[in-house]
A = this chain, B = another copy of it.
């Protein structure tokens, strides 16, 4: 086999109560990365589509290439590779764009090079790509993009990732307004220190959130979707943040908040039609402010990165 392609989904990180620790895979959209063995000895990004020319093809800066190069280093291989990237999700959207390319690339290379590491073990390589993309090797997007479902980063040192149990009928609405937020700047808004009360409140909600998921308690899910660490500082970046969140809740959402560092926002529902209602209500608020947006509505998928046959 000389060439293969992987899809890795968009993701919503943080999920209100889980700054840096929770992340959820979306059913779509996602990025497709094709990796091909090359006769040269280096890693080259030979094509990028769907990025409107914004992504670097320099392998030291491109997240797909960075993730793959860390995998190669780990495997002690100097196989040359050509990487082609099809971006199907917007940049700087709070939907884990950089993570999806890195996840798809590292998963594809893993199979192409017959390394056959479990997807879980690929997370650290994709995290290195996040370090390049946003200055911090966080795992809350790459973990769900690789593993699917809803993930918890219990610990970064050592890295310990858990797939959280969640109810079969859990659906999300994700609305992506046409605003770009640079992850690095959004991260800089979050304080380096938190008060005892902020910390205790955040741990209480994080613990309640996973209890709600494990027991299918939607009322608790709703009350636990509260963020004391990041949302209060980032909300001002998104026009009408509180109104959009309230619109989702008024439309029946069982929890809502910022997706990653924004500007996308998520809401939970126990049905597809319920999620659609929330997405419509959220879009309406953006629309009133002359902000175009896209909606994505689905069940939460159990699969993350997977091999595909490109069209």
Contacts and interface: CB of A to CB of B under 8 A. Distances in A.
Interface of A: 17-22, 152-156, 160, 162, 164-165, 190-196, 198-211, 214-215, 220, 223-224, 226, 229
A200 B21 contact: yes
A203 B160 contact: no
B21 A204 contact: yes
B205 A202 contact: no
Contacts of A195: 192-193
Given A155-B201, A156-B204, A198-B199, 13 more contacts: A19-B199, A20-B204, A21-B204, A152-B207, A162-B220, A165-B211, A190-B196, A193-B193, A199-B199, A204-B206, A206-B206, A207-B207, A207-B210
Nearest to A208: B154
Contacts of A203: 17-19, 21, 202-203, 206
A189 B54 CA distance: 50
Contacts of A160: 208, 223
19 contacts: A18-B203, A19-B199, A22-B207, A152-B207, A152-B208, A153-B204, A154-B204, A154-B205, A155-B204, A155-B223, A162-B208, A162-B220, A164-B211, A165-B215, A193-B193, A193-B194, A194-B194, A203-B203, A207-B207
A123 B235 CA distance: 34
A204 B23 CA distance: 12
A213 to B, nearest CB: 9
Contacts of A17: 203
Contacts of A20: 200, 204
A155 to B, nearest CB: 6
Given A160-B223, A195-B192, A200 B19 contact: yes
Contacts of A154: 204-205, 207-208, 220, 223-224
Given A205-B154, A210-B207, A215-B165, A196 B196 contact: no
Given A154-B224, A165-B214, A207-B18, A199 B201 contact: no
